Structure 1
Amino acid sequence: MLKELLHQLFVKLENEIGNNKKSKNGNAIYFVEEILENQFKKPSFISSKAIKGYYDKYVEGKENNAGEPSIELKDLISKYLGYEHFLAFETQNKATNFFNVKKSKITLLNYSLTALLSLTLIVAFYKIYLANKNDDCVIWQFNHYEKVNCDNQFAIQKPTDINIEKFNKVNVNDSTIFFINNKPIIWYGKSVKGEIEFFNARGTHPITGKELKPVTSYIINKYVYKQ
């Protein structure tokens, strides 16, 4: 508690308006000459060198021949700091330190819990991401899409503009129904070889990636009926 007492002493001395020497020596001199001699009427009670020696030893941790301040000096310093005596200073500051330590521990615990929760959420979201990622790829197999792991070298991201469960390439002939209520239910597109291929839903060609077009009577007459 001596460290805290002397630390607070020098902090207050540093802020004294009448203290023109803002240094350890200046603070010690001001305390002896202005506080002890003039305020507390204690002339020649202690030297400024001794006050500085206490500060060096107990606050800065320097080894020197300074002993422990007398009870009277500790009481005088405590009174200057606004306490009735050193015991009151010691009691109040122990309580303050206790609550500060407790608050620090609670704060540290809160930070730890927050960090743990954040890490847990990150891991959970990452697992969900991997699960979705691995279930979000497909591969074209002859006439339909199949879901595959995204690690597959031929896998592509699942198209968002089609229902892969129902999207198929279809073989058509002159008995195929192409329209319902005059609306096309078959779409077509060219393969990489330039051949016309037909599909049962709109979307993009699974190989070329080009937008499929709704079938027309012209396309039917040209590529279906002529067969």
Structure 2
Amino acid sequence: MHAELLKQAFDQAQRDTGSEKVLRRAQFLSDTIEERTKQPYGERSLRNYFNEVQQGSDDFELPAHVVDGLAGYLGYDTYRDFLNSLEGGSPLTINRPRRNTRVWYYLAGVGVIALVLWVLFENPFQTKMMIWVEDHYEVVPMDLETYKLSDLKKINQDRLDHFRKVEPDCSYEFFDGNKLELLWYGRNPDGELEYFTDLGRHPETGKTLDPITEYMIKKYICPTYPNN
């Protein structure tokens, strides 16, 4: 039954983001889950499970916090409420009202301040964070005398394990056997193209990375692709 939950979440994410790209929606849902549950869940896992759903598979179970986060995102109080809607209840229609821009920025600012205060004072056991170092993330102490708060990120094991900056050449494996991208790109603060091994956001600019395309490969990496 988690397959139907995931499918509906990706469908709703398409409406909310305006994007049909699975990668964009997976990133959006990953951020949403962490915002709602305060626990991370990687975009890679969401994308892989959704690909299974598209192939007709439902033989998987999502972690409890992911189930709760997705059910909440779809407008249900609990996963049981979601199941009840499938058994004959009326599916929820999610109306997301437009927010006044000034009010939104004000609330966002208050939220950032509240988060900082919570990290510093209400969560004394959160002593480890992660920080970007040249081409990868590293776990570091929560030390504001050594690191800038803006550089510290909550530990995400998926980022630590799979996210690297690389310098691809003609020998790089750009796609897997199913033609799914294995490389993403974005520009650094100096406007230079950089390449990464997983989807996500650029560690320095915060902008969402784009999946590699044959056009980008030929123009910037390997002019003879795919006949190199």
By relative contact order (CA 8 Å, sep 6+), the higher-ranking structure is 2
